[in-house]
Structure 1
């Protein structure tokens, strides 16, 4: 059975991207002295990219036309949950940057998948993000 993402599911996904953005910001400030200027800059750039993805999703600009099967929807919900619980799982700066990079790729996949109908791209990126968070 196929279904479209509901407005609430898009909202929860938006909140998850916002949460990850906030977590990266807190991590950056909490570990300021331990990070190089380059690492701080990289985290800040990724933080803003994730915040912008959250804002775009909150405006419901793309997702409502994507049709998902139940298994795909469960993967997206798992990615949403993982992003909301990520604060306790970031082990070090490299792990944080890898998580942020996978989350940005996931955000990009949402836009490409929504415009092309390639749900597999979205689900694959969500799975990669979940795996990195749990690494």
Structure 2
């Protein structure tokens, strides 16, 4: 059965990108003295990318108009939950940067899915992000 990702779902996804961006910024400032300049800069760049993705997703009030199945919707909703809980799961700078990188890839996969219909890449990126967030859980 094919379903669309609702505007409320998209809002929640947008918010999860925002929340993860904020969590990464909080981590960066909380660990400022333990991070080197390169780590701080890398985390800040990814933080801003995620923040901008959040803004783009929210501003367009887009509905994912691609062929999604129940399992795809469940994966995307699980990813939203995991992204919102990521702040409590970040263990160190390496984990923070890995989560941020996979979140950026997931955001890119969303744009790819919207423009090409490539749902498989989006679901794979969401799954990869969830695995990274929950790596030691």
Question: For the superposition of Structure 1 and Structure 2, which TM-score range results when normalised by the shorter chain?
Answer: over 0.9
- Could you state the TM-score of these two structures normalised by the residue count of structure 1? 0.97
Instruction: Give the gaps of 5 or more residues in structure 2.
Output: none
Which consecutive aligned stretches of 4+ in structure 1 deviate over 4 angstroms post-superposition? none
- Could you state the TM-score of these two structures normalised by the residue count of structure 2? 0.95
Instruction: Give the gaps of 5 or more residues in structure 1.
Output: none
1:81 is aligned to: 81
Q: Is the 8 A contact 2:75 2:127 kept in 1?
A: yes
- Does the alignment pair 1:35 with 2:35? yes
Counterpart Cα distance in 2 of 1:5 and 1:129: 19
Kindly tell me the number of residue pairs found equivalent between the two proteins: 135
User: 1:63-74 residue pairs with structure 2 within 5 A?
Assistant: 63-74=63-74
2:125 is aligned to: 125
Counterpart Cα distance in 1 of 2:21 and 2:133: 14
Q: How far is 1:67 from its partner? A: 2.5
Q: Is the 8 A contact 1:46 1:101 kept in 2?
A: yes
Q: Is the 8 A contact 1:17 1:50 kept in 2?
A: yes
Q: How far is 1:65 from its partner? A: 1.2
